[in-house]
Amino acid sequence: MIFRKTDLEYPRFYRKLLSYSNSNCLNMKALHLLILSAFCCLLWTQTHAQTADSTILWRIVTTDDNEYIGEVLSRDSETLQLQTDRLGVLTIRVRDIRVMEQVNQQQMVGEEIWLENPQATRYLWNTNGYGIRQGEGYYQNIWVLFNQVSIGVVDHFSVSLGTVPLFLFGGLETPVWVIPKFSIPVVKDKFNLGGGILAATVVGLQEGWAGVAFGSATYGSRDRNVNFGLGYGFADGNWSNTPVITISGMHRYSRRGYILTENYLFGFGDFTAGIISVAGRTVWDGISLDYGGFVPLGDVGTVIVLPWLSLIIPFGQK
């Protein structure tokens, strides 16, 4: 489908979509796929639960960038003795230690330590019930043009600011948006609630704001979870009658690798459609990359895969 510029003027185009949302008709194929996605995500969270013993482990990084994990047997002003699984007892000079930190047992997988997920609060675009910690944040770039910065104001409240800088290409109208979000840890690291508002406008057009008010419930850890979301669109004080339903999930399968899925179900009058996705995430020190594809469901006539590529740079994380 090709949109003319006049069709995309925001929020006129958005109000057209809202005007179609008065039917409760559901596309059962899309709904079944969303339910299947949720079931698979729940299996991920249940079958990969980790157990921990009572041993206190430490991660030590030396000045020559070697990393050791083990139990501290003794320490004085000069040396430290560390009991490791593979290398036995090591004696390390204190002056050669660059980093020494206690390891959370939940981060241990076999003999490997998985550092905390730097992108635990979001999937591809959609967020979940986890919150960005105070002073932390990230910059996200999607296909070069879409830019967003998210910052944790306090531990359970964050703000995201985004734009598509079309003004760099001849002074065109520029979309901007803001997303205030709160999170509530009902059961720490297991069940979280979140909610917020995505409010957007176009700088350069004499029109108001539009967006989505959303809520989410997330079950699982920061590494493996499933998220159920519900959102209602609005434009110039008018609200949609039919919600957008989202089901998303995250599964960490290695120290740096994740599988993600983010799925939507929404209705426009007599037409109900969905979008499903499968993607991967690779995390390195100070940067991560999301890659995958979205597949629209509904009366589209053929299978269409919309590619996704996103670069994320976290900041403020310890």
Instruction: Write a three-state SS string for 86-153.
Output: CCEEEEEEHHHEEEEEEECHHHEECCEECCCCCCCCECCCCECCCCCCCCCEEEEEECCCEEEEEEEE
Cα separation, 195 vs 174, in Å, equals: 26
Q: Band of the pLDDT at 5, cuts 50, 70, 90?
A: very low
Supply the CATH number for residue 90's domain.
2.30.30.100
Tell me whether residue 2 is in a domain.
Answer: no
Tell me whether residue 160 is in a domain.
Answer: yes
SS3 12: helix
Q: Do 167 and 85 sit in the same domain of this protein?
A: no
**Tokens found for residue 150:** 């998210």
Q: What is the pLDDT of residue 38?
A: 57
Q: What is the pLDDT of residue 12?
A: 47
Tell me whether residue 7 is in a domain.
Answer: no
Q: Do 76 and 204 sit in the same domain of this protein?
A: no
Q: Band of the pLDDT at 300, cuts 50, 70, 90?
A: low
Q: Band of the pLDDT at 3, cuts 50, 70, 90?
A: very low
**Tokens found for residue 261:** 């899925």
Q: Do 207 and 90 sit in the same domain of this protein?
A: no
Structural domain that includes position 200 = 12-50+123-315
Q: What share of the chain is helix, strand, coil (3-state, %, to 5)?
A: 10, 55, 35
Q: Give one DSSP letter per residue of 155-193, joined into a string.
A: TTEEEEEEE--GGGGTS--EEEEEEEEEEEEEETTTEEE
Domain final residue pick, 113, 138, 155: 113
Domain count, the chain: 2
Q: Do 139 and 270 sit in the same domain of this protein?
A: yes
Cα separation, 16 vs 5, in Å, equals: 15
Q: Do 150 and 175 sit in the same domain of this protein?
A: yes
Q: Band of the pLDDT at 114, cuts 50, 70, 90?
A: confident
Tell me whether residue 3 is in a domain.
Answer: no
Q: Do 213 and 68 sit in the same domain of this protein?
A: no
CB-CB contact of 212 with 199 (8 Å) = no
Supply the CATH number for residue 35's domain.
2.40.160.40
CB-CB contact of 63 with 96 (8 Å) = yes
